[in-house]
Amino acid sequence: MELESNVVLDLHLVQSNECCESYHMELEGLKRMVAFFEDILEIGTLLLKAICKRKGCEDLKAWQQSIINHLYWAVVSSTQDDAELIVDKWKSVERRFLNLHRGHGGKFPTCVHKRLQGRAHKKKWIKPSSLSAVKLEKLVTDKMLCKDIGKLSAVHQTSKVEGFHSLIIQFAPKSYVYSYTGMLCRTLLAGLHYNENASRHTATTKAGEQRFKIRYPKYKAGGHVVKKILVEATFSYVDDLMREVVDLCKKSSADRPVQLEEPPTLSSAMEKPDKAEAIKAHASRFKTK
C-alpha cells in the first residue's frame, strides 16, 4: 500500500505451508513486497492498559490519554532520523506528570510549554515514590520499548493497512474455507474495492453541512470518538471486470484453459489414516446413554 495516496499497489497471497512455520508468513509477505511501519496509537494505547488496571495505580488512569498524547507529540515534533531526541522527549513524561518540568536530561532537558498557571497548575499530579510513579518510570525507561519508540513513524501509520485487512474479511470471511485460487480472487477484489473507495468524501446534509457520528470503542473505556460519515461506496470496478472477462473470452481458446500455479494444499503433507481405523479409534469426550 502506498500510504500517501492511500492506494493498494500490489497484493501477495502467502499460504502457511509455503513457509517453515505459520508465524513466518508475514515475513515472507514482507520479503515479497511491503515494508512495515509501527503505529503510534496502537503502542500508545496498549502500553498503559495493564498498569492502569493494577491496584494502587488508579490515579494513573486519569493521565492515560495525556501520556498517549505526549507520545504522539514526541514523535511528530522531532525529525524522523533523530531517534535519540524522540526517546528523550518520551522519557520526560515520567517527570512531567510529577509536576517536574526541568532537568529531564539528554537532548530534551526542559519542557517547551509556558509556566503552568490556574487550573493547569492545580491538576492532581502523580505523587513521587507512589506505586503509580514507580510503575510509570519502569514502563517509560524500558529499554526494548524505548528502542521501538525511536523507530516510530510520524508519517506512515498502519491504520489504513488495518482497514484494508478488515475489508478483506468482508470479501473472505474467516468462517469459510476457500481454495487458493478462490482466496486470491477475493483478496484481489478487496484491493479493487479499496482503491475505488479509499478517498471517499464526507457526506453532507441538505444544508451542506458535513455529517458525523459518535462511537464508543472498547479501548476508550467509556470515552467516545467522532467519525466522519462517508458517501456511499461505489462498484464501478465490477463493470471494468465484466468487460475484461468478455474481451478475454473472445481472445482465448476454450481448448486452452487458464491454469494458475497453486502451492500444495495444507492437507497434502499430512498422512491420511485408514477410514475404518479412524472410526474405530474415535471416542466422544461426553458420556452417551
* Region class of 5: left (phi > 0), else alpha (psi between -120 and 50), else beta: alpha
The predicted pLDDT at position 231 comes to: 94
Kindly indicate the confidence band of residue 207, based on its pLDDT and cuts at 50, 70 and 90.
very high
Residue 33 has pLDDT above 80, yes or no: no
Structure pTM? 0.56
d(CA 215, CA 223): 9
Backbone angles phi, psi at 210, to 5 degrees: -70, 145
d(CA 32, CA 34): 7
d(CA 115, CA 153): 30
Q: CA quadruple 164, 169, 174, 178: dihedral positive or negative?
A: negative
d(CA 286, CA 230): 51
If we measure between CA atoms, which residue out of 59, 51, 133, 139 comes closest to residue 100? 133
The predicted pLDDT at position 54 comes to: 78
Q: Which is higher by pLDDT, 200 or 9?
A: 200
Q: Which residues contact 163 (CB under 8 A, 6 or more apart)?
A: none
